[in-house]
Structure 1
Amino acid sequence: MNPRLSVLSCVVAVLGVGGCSALANTAGLPATVTATEQQARSKAEVLVDDTAAHIQPALSWQASTVGHNPNYTGVDGRYDGTMRVVVSREADVRLAKDRLPTLEAAITDYWRQQGFQLQIGHATDGNFAIDATKDQVHLVANSDAPWGITISADVGTVKGPKDINSVDGSPIPDPTGSNGTPISPAPSVDPYWSH
């Protein structure tokens, strides 16, 4: 995930709207496995694809990335041997601030139609973070005008490895140049969303 977008997610989490980590199991019991990894991944991909398709005019999306969020139990915070599958997709398009309400409405309308419960946070610069939950599914959309938008789906409880250190839960780093500095691609200009 683009670090610019993750900052807004964390700001919204502090405000009590979203989250920056895996869902906590406060009962202290291991989570019940609800799907195979492939089932969870397929469901997450469909949710992200359908959300992206609902945004019109269409944005130019990058390929999805797939990761895992480990589940933890109770107050001791121990890894419980299960994880959730996370699929994220980013559109690096220059977003005009006056288009943000239209973009937000496209996502919230679609997620409400699907029966998700929403919490929405707004930054002082007009960017938004949407957090949606339903039936063991967690969806997040973050705008970062003028840099783009990220949509992600966190789905299912699947059997994880015994060793927490082998869970792929870290964010995929941004590409770096030959000198090791991050390459931030310039957002593309869209005839509708950028003006």
Structure 2
Amino acid sequence: MMSRQKFPVSVASMLLATICLGGCSTLSGDTPEPTVNVNEAVKQVDSILDGTVNAVRPQLKWRDGPARISERRNSFTNKANGEADVSRYRYVRTKVSKAKLNGLLAAITKYWNKEGFKASTSNPREPSLSGKAEDGRFAKFSMSSFGDVEFYVSVGALSSERSGDIKGEEGDQFPEAPNGGPDYTPDVQDSYWSK
């Protein structure tokens, strides 16, 4: 015979296990289910990146990194759940001085807010900004202490593909860095942004 104290605890345990086996989406509640396929997600990512850089005047020079897919996994079973995040980095080639950073951040914030992102500073030690939309789209801007400037955008997609670069979406060619990898260092001097 079950005591009165143990019954509510056992019911709560069963309910929690049922929720987590279903994907723990009820507990996290912060990522809406995607409704687009990978190709549509890549188009959305590129559209957000294009809109962001086009909102900045004078225009910046940039290179795109490869579009990537990152499979989402059930937080309880660690099995792929048929959803993924599609993302791309856009690396700014224009050298941006610290003196021009506030103007750049203002232009980005204004555009992201107009597009439904809630923009906020994400790292007070290094200039960075991130924004999340209600539909799960995510955007980020950051500038490293070395002056490297990059944008990152991620959109959810329905996909059972494994994580990795998306074929046909390799992005632009980059010069080679001393370590043999791609060199993301800004290499374009601009009469406005670089002063």
Same fold, judged at TM 0.5 (above)? yes
- The letter of the residue matching 1:27 is S
Q: Which residue of 2 aligns with 1:27?
A: 25
Moved over 4 A (4+): 174-177
Per the TM alignment, residue 32 of structure 1 is displaced from its structure 2 partner at its CA by: 4.4
Q: Which residue of 2 aligns with 1:68?
A: 69
TM-score normalized by structure 2? 0.69
- The letter of the residue matching 2:118 is Q
8 Å CA contact 2:141, 2:151 repeated in 1: yes
Per the TM alignment, residue 92 of structure 1 is displaced from its structure 2 partner at its CA by: 2.3
Per the TM alignment, residue 146 of structure 1 is displaced from its structure 2 partner at its CA by: 5.0
Q: Which residue of 1 aligns with 2:107?
A: 106
The RMSD of aligned alpha carbons is 3.1
Q: Which residue of 1 aligns with 2:58?
A: 57
Higher-Rg structure is 2
Q: Which residue of 2 aligns with 1:120?
A: 121
Per the TM alignment, residue 52 of structure 1 is displaced from its structure 2 partner at its CA by: 0.8
Q: Which residue of 2 aligns with 1:167?
A: 163
Q: Which residue of 2 aligns with 1:21?
A: none
Where in structure 2 are the equivalents of 1:70-149 lying within 5 Å? 70-124=71-125, 127-144=127-144, 147-149=147-149
Per the TM alignment, residue 81 of structure 1 is displaced from its structure 2 partner at its CA by: 2.9
* SS of 2:140 mapped into structure 1: strand
| CA distance in 2 between partners of 1:153 and 1:91 (Å) | 14
- The letter of the residue matching 1:159 is S
Per the TM alignment, residue 187 of structure 1 is displaced from its structure 2 partner at its CA by: 2.6
Q: Percent sequence identity over matched residues?
A: 19
| CA distance in 2 between partners of 1:139 and 1:105 (Å) | 15
Structure 2: 5+ residue stretches without partners: 1-22
| CA distance in 2 between partners of 1:52 and 1:96 (Å) | 17
Where in structure 2 are the equivalents of 1:173-192 lying within 5 Å? 176=176, 181-182=180-181, 184=183, 185=185, 187-192=187-192
Structure 1: 5+ residue stretches without partners: 1-24
| CA distance in 2 between partners of 1:78 and 1:158 (Å) | 15
- The letter of the residue matching 1:140 is K
* SS of 2:130 mapped into structure 1: strand
Q: Which residue of 2 aligns with 1:42?
A: 43
Tell me: CA distance 1:63–1:74, structure 2 relative to 1, closer, same or farther (3 Å): closer
TM-score normalized by structure 1? 0.69
Tell me: CA distance 1:73–1:119, structure 2 relative to 1, closer, same or farther (3 Å): farther
Per the TM alignment, residue 26 of structure 1 is displaced from its structure 2 partner at its CA by: 4.1
| CA distance in 1 between partners of 2:76 and 2:165 (Å) | 20
Per the TM alignment, residue 132 of structure 1 is displaced from its structure 2 partner at its CA by: 2.7
8 Å CA contact 1:66, 1:85 repeated in 2: yes
